[in-house]
Amino acid sequence: MALDEETPLVDHQIEAGNQTVNHGRDIHILSWAFLLIFLAYGAAQNLQSTLNTDGDLGTISLGILYTSFTVSSLFASSVVRKLGSKNALLLGTTGYWLYIAANLKPSWYTMVPASLYLGFAAAILWVGEGTYLTATARSQANDHKLHEGTVIGHFNGEFWGIFASHQLVGNLLTLALLKDGAGSTSGTTLLFTVFLGSMTLGTVLMSFLKKRDGEETEGDRDSSPGLYTLLASLWNQVITPLCDVRMLLIVPLIAFSGLQQAFVWAEFTKYYVQPSLGESGVGGAMAVYGVFDAICSLAAGRFTSGLTSITLIVSGGAFLQGGILIWLLNYSEPTDGVLCVVYPLLIAAVWGIGDGVLMTQLNALLAMLFKHNMEGTFAQLKLWQSASIAVVFFLSPYISLQTMLFLMLAALVLSLAGFLFLVLKVEKVFSNHVS
């Protein structure tokens, strides 16, 4: 398996004819559409624990959402293959729209069904995103005779950089429209109305994407709706990838990427930001998180060209996050007024860097190693991420902060060890191949 920096990571060429197409246009559209959709959803998710407090409706609905997300990821790849990646993206946006609409009249009768459906829609959307972006990158590399790993890295960097800025834009909108606090009914109604408008614009923008169905493997969309076909597809897309030792070694890193995201949403804001900066400071801290996430995603994408660069970037990000986790284990709230502001924002910035590293590099790594089963591969990514996020939401009320931090640190060490073993294994296979 040729995964060195110089050898292209594609073993087949697609004839582009006499006309060379710049496929970067579709990445621009995809990135900005996701920004418009997730600036609304991300901010709404951050507000759930403080806005929908009746019977812990907000937190429980998020747990239900990510449990549904996990289960739906088992068959999301089959749905994406059936619909095509563009149609899957459009279908996926409907769940986010319905969830925001439910927040206009939050109750158990609106939030629970909306959360269940959003779990399904989110699985479809994210498998479609990974499939579409990778197919677009390969088309760009083939048509322009470029190194495939470099193009995949650049396209992932652009997408995740623009996507990560949703935390900045969404939280600034929240701060501007909820001037009277989260308890203001008129402000909340206005905020979620604006969010619905933003999501509608994102969906319309996504409809301008070019279809890439012709670049998928022939026979991917079997028209037979029989139970045997569905079970066989489920086996091939979910179970078969786990028979590959490379996937098994990546799964811990995928799971940690979900754990660290959920930790920021559920624990960091509650135990570190709110005591120092107050309720209004949560939006500011998450905005800082989003800025550094976006900058790091763009930078990491630019430096990604193959396995060696991915190894260096992931290792650097892991050591940063490990250092922060050790600091948090011994953290005490500073008494100095300036440090009370600086410390939470500094931690938010480092978490943003860590998330930017993990999201860009995981997507690039999976696209490089498992290019013959894109839908199944990205279904694995969302399956393990959403499962770990759901675990944090459900465990959070029952375990102490110290226990959560020790679990996070142990998960980080395990995931980094598995990743480095994978790198050595792949490098050894390549060395034996060339010798």
Per-block average pLDDT, block size 10, for the chain (435 residues)? 40 44 88 95 82 78 89 85 91 95 91 94 92 89 82 88 88 77 71 93 94 53 51 67 86 93 84 77 83 89 81 91 91 78 90 90 87 79 88 82 92 94 75 43
Specify the 3-state DSSP secondary structure of 115: helix
Q: Tell me the C-alpha to C-alpha distance, in Å, between residue 237 and each of 124, 242, 376, 410.
A: 14, 9, 4, 29
Q: What is the pLDDT of residue 255?
A: 94
> How far is the C-alpha of 389 from the C-alpha of 128, rounded, in Å?
20
Q: How far apart are the first and last CA of the chain?
A: 12
Cβ atoms within 10 Å of 73's Cβ, excluding its own? 28
> How far is the C-alpha of 392 from the C-alpha of 397, rounded, in Å?
9
CA nearest to 382, candidates 48, 121, 23: 121
Q: Which residues contact 103 (CB under 8 A, 6 or more apart)?
A: 44, 51, 52, 111, 192
> How far is the C-alpha of 206 from the C-alpha of 30, rounded, in Å?
6
> How far is the C-alpha of 177 from the C-alpha of 171, rounded, in Å?
10
Q: Tell me the C-alpha to C-alpha distance, in Å, between residue 198 and each of 103, 171, 192, 193.
A: 15, 14, 10, 9
> How far is the C-alpha of 369 from the C-alpha of 307, rounded, in Å?
10
Sign for the pseudo-dihedral over CA of 265, 267, 268, 273: positive
Half-sphere exposure of 217 (CA within 13 A, CB side): 12
Specify the 3-state DSSP secondary structure of 398: coil
Tokens of 254: 């995928």
Q: What is the pLDDT of residue 234?
A: 65
Tokens of 179: 């001037």
- With both helix axes pointing from N to C terminus, report the angle between 307-329 and 401-434 in degrees, rounded to the nearest 10: 160
Cβ atoms within 10 Å of 390's Cβ, excluding its own? 23
pTM, two decimals, is: 0.77
Specify the 3-state DSSP secondary structure of 181: coil
Q: What is the pLDDT of residue 229?
A: 60
Tokens of 372: 């013959």
Sign for the pseudo-dihedral over CA of 370, 376, 381, 387: negative
> How far is the C-alpha of 170 from the C-alpha of 173, rounded, in Å?
5
CA nearest to 297, candidates 415, 162, 419: 162
Q: Which residue has the tokens 């319309």?
A: 204
> How far is the C-alpha of 378 from the C-alpha of 388, rounded, in Å?
16
Cβ atoms within 10 Å of 334's Cβ, excluding its own? 14
> How far is the C-alpha of 350 from the C-alpha of 293, rounded, in Å?
9
Q: What is the pLDDT of residue 236?
A: 66
- With both helix axes pointing from N to C terminus, report the angle between 57-83 and 374-395 in degrees, rounded to the nearest 10: 170
341-347: long-range contacts, CB 8 A cutoff, minimum separation 24 = 341/276, 341/277, 343/272, 343/276, 344/272, 344/273, 344/276, 344/277, 344/281, 344/285, 345/284, 345/285, 345/288, 347/268, 347/272
Q: What is the pLDDT of residue 221?
A: 46
Q: What is the pLDDT of residue 184?
A: 61
Specify the 3-state DSSP secondary structure of 194: helix
